[in-house]
Amino acid sequence: MSARTGLIIILAFTIFRIVTLHFDTTDLFVDEAQYWFWSQNLDFGYYSKPPMIAWVLRIFTELAGSSDIYWLRLPGPLFHMATALVLMKMAKRFVGPEIEGWVGATYITLPAVALSSVFFSTDVILLFFIAIALIAYFELTQRRSMGLALLMGVGVGLAFLTKYAVLFLVPGGAIAMLLIPAARISVRDFIIAVVTSAVVAVPNLWWNLQNNNTTVRHTQDIAHWSDLGINIRGGLEFFSAQFGVVGPIVFFAMLWAVWNMIRGRSEPRERILVWLSIPVVLLITLQATVAKAYANWGVTAYVAGIVLAVWVLYRLWPKGLRTSLTINGIACVLFPFATIFSHQLVLPNGKEVMERYLGRADVSRQAADLAAQAGASIIVTDNRDMVADLFHTLRATPYKIYARPPVDLPDSYYEQEFALPADTSGRVLFLTSKPLNCSSETPEMLKSWQPEKGNYKGDTIYVYKVGAACLMQP
| Together in a domain, 65 and 194 | yes
- Tell me the pLDDT tens digit for each residue of 336-383: 999 999 999 998 888 899 999 999 999 999 999 999 999 999 999 999
Q: How large is the greatest C-alpha to C-alpha distance in the chain, in angstroms?
A: 75
Number of domains forming the structure of the chain: 2
Q: Is residue 352 part of a domain?
A: no
Q: Is residue 348 part of a domain?
A: no
**Is the confidence at residue 48, as pLDDT, over 90?**
no
**How many Cα atoms sit within 13 Å of 463 on the Cβ side?**
22
Q: Is residue 420 part of a domain?
A: yes
More confident residue, 213 or 141: 141
pLDDT value of position 134: 97
| Together in a domain, 207 and 88 | yes
How far is it, in rounded angstroms, from Cα 52 to Cα 34?
Answer: 13
DSSP 404: P
Average confidence (pLDDT) over 383-406 = 96
| Together in a domain, 312 and 366 | no
pLDDT value of position 167: 94
**Is the confidence at residue 225, as pLDDT, over 70?**
no
**How many Cα atoms sit within 13 Å of 326 on the Cβ side?**
5
- Tell me the pLDDT tens digit for each residue of 61-100: 999 999 999 999 999 999 999 999 999 999 999 999 999 9
Residues 404 and 380: beta-carbon distance below 8 Å: yes
The boundaries of the domain holding residue 447 are 359-471
- Tell me the pLDDT tens digit for each residue of 90-134: 999 999 999 999 999 999 999 999 999 999 999 999 999 999 999
**Is the confidence at residue 29, as pLDDT, over 70?**
yes
pLDDT value of position 220: 65
Q: Is residue 214 part of a domain?
A: yes
pLDDT value of position 379: 97
Residues 108 and 80: beta-carbon distance below 8 Å: yes
Give the N- to C-terminal CA distance of the chain in Å, as an integer.
Answer: 64
Among 295, 312, 340, identify where a domain stops.
Answer: 340
pLDDT value of position 441: 86
- Tell me the pLDDT tens digit for each residue of 277-321: 999 999 999 998 987 788 888 999 999 999 999 999 999 999 999
Q: Is residue 309 part of a domain?
A: yes
Q: Which of the residue ranges 170-174, 203-207, 346-350, 401-405 would you say has the lowest mean pLDDT?
A: 346-350
| Together in a domain, 145 and 276 | yes
| Together in a domain, 157 and 282 | yes
pLDDT value of position 474: 73
User: pLDDT tier at 226 (50, 70, 90 boundaries)?
Assistant: low
Q: Is residue 118 part of a domain?
A: yes
Neighbours of 20 (CB within 10 A): 18
Average confidence (pLDDT) over 434-450 = 91
| Together in a domain, 309 and 393 | no
pLDDT value of position 190: 97
| Together in a domain, 158 and 93 | yes
| Together in a domain, 172 and 233 | yes
**Is the confidence at residue 212, as pLDDT, over 90?**
no
pLDDT value of position 228: 65
Helix (H) or strand (E) holding 466: strand 461-467
Q: Is residue 347 part of a domain?
A: no
pLDDT value of position 462: 96
User: pLDDT tier at 221 (50, 70, 90 boundaries)?
Assistant: low
User: pLDDT tier at 227 (50, 70, 90 boundaries)?
Assistant: low
Mean pLDDT for the chain overall: 93
| Together in a domain, 324 and 374 | no
Q: Considering only CA atoms, which of 300, 290, 281, 287 is closest in space to residue 241?
A: 281
| Together in a domain, 225 and 366 | no
| Together in a domain, 287 and 164 | yes
Among 340, 373, 402, identify where a domain stops.
Answer: 340
Neighbours of 324 (CB within 10 A): 27
**Is the confidence at residue 218, as pLDDT, over 80?**
no
| Together in a domain, 225 and 179 | yes
Q: Is residue 398 part of a domain?
A: yes
pLDDT value of position 473: 75
How far is it, in rounded angstroms, from Cα 122 to Cα 140?
Answer: 27
pLDDT value of position 338: 94
